Amino acid sequence: MTVVEVAELVGAGFAAGLVSVLVSLASLVSYPALLALGLSPVSANVTNTVSLVFIGAGAALGSRAELAGTRRIVLRLGLVAAVGGAGGSALLLIAPASTFQAVVPFLIGGASIFLLGQPYLARRRESRGVVAAPWWRAPLLWTAMLGSSVYAGYFGAAGGILVLAIMTAMFPDWPPHRINAVKNVVAMFANGAAALGFAGFGPVHWSFVAPLAVGFFLGGRVGPVIARRLPNNTLRVVAAGCGIAMAVKLAL
């Protein structure tokens, strides 16, 4: 690798780290950068996933205030995410990523619309005086979290938006900044489990991982500082808007 390519990867990683923390679309920046440097689609995917672990590490370091008191739920969600991420990585190694092409736009678009409509749904529940959630709601959301983690390990495009939407439904009383901080750490578990599988059996380009990981870590570290300065609902609205745009792009 040349010095210019190293600088490009660090810069792309930093930008992707910021984008991941703010709007959950890191791969929208880093994946095309790896393709532009000559990697095949599958190699770029697995190299990107291995490096993505460092966004979570940087974001966790920068979000200590938001993560206070969430250790138990982070560990529970992280375990589910790790199982899903490992399953997704195994699927990618035995099946083409094109398998998800038909359904991905609907997954991302639906999750994004749900994010936009969350305040309306919350007001509707309050107006009806609904106190307790239906018995089936929690198992459904935990199953959805497992499925989104499989997707993150397998294909990954905008997977963070799926996790963000599910966690918004899980914790309707949490502020968006806390949900976003926990989402970043949970995604690290999914990416970490997938990365272990790819490290052993996938075509990872390790010379690309180091500079990209440095950029990811720095972007993930700075991202929470910017996020907490934004108005309370900005993260949700911007992430949903970007997700809808991503869904349209993938559909086309």
pLDDT on residue 159: 76
**How many distinct structural domains can be found in the chain?**
1
Q: Nearest to residue 119, comparing CAs of 248, 241, 250, 232?
A: 232
The helix/strand/coil state of 157 is coil
What is the C-alpha separation between 163 and 225, in angstroms, rounded?
21
Could you read off the pLDDT tens digit of each residue along the chain, which spans 252 residues? 789 999 999 999 999 898 888 877 787 788 888 888 988 877 888 898 899 899 999 999 999 999 999 999 999 999 999 999 999 888 878 876 566 666 777 777 877 787 777 667 666 666 665 445 565 678 898 999 999 898 888 766 677 888 888 898 888 888 888 998 999 999 999 989 999 988 888 889 999 999 999 999 999 999 998 888 887 677 778 877 877 887 887 788
Angle between helices 41-62 and 176-201 (to 10 degrees): 140
What is the C-alpha separation between 240 and 190, in angstroms, rounded?
21
Q: Residue 139, Cβ neighbours under 10 Å: how many? A: 9
pLDDT on residue 193: 93
Query: In terms of residue numbers, what domain contains 143?
Result: 3-251
Global pTM reads 0.81
pLDDT on residue 132: 52
pLDDT on residue 41: 79
Measured between alpha carbons, how far apart are the two ends of the chain, in Å? 34
Residue 60, CB half-sphere, CA atoms under 13 Å: how many? 13
| Cβ atoms of residues 107 and 162 within 8 Å | yes
Give 3-12's long-range contacts (Cβ < 8 A, gap of 24+).
5/37, 6/211, 7/211, 8/33, 8/37, 9/33, 9/37, 9/208, 9/211, 9/212, 9/215, 10/211, 10/212, 10/214, 10/215, 10/218, 11/215, 12/212, 12/215
pLDDT on residue 164: 85
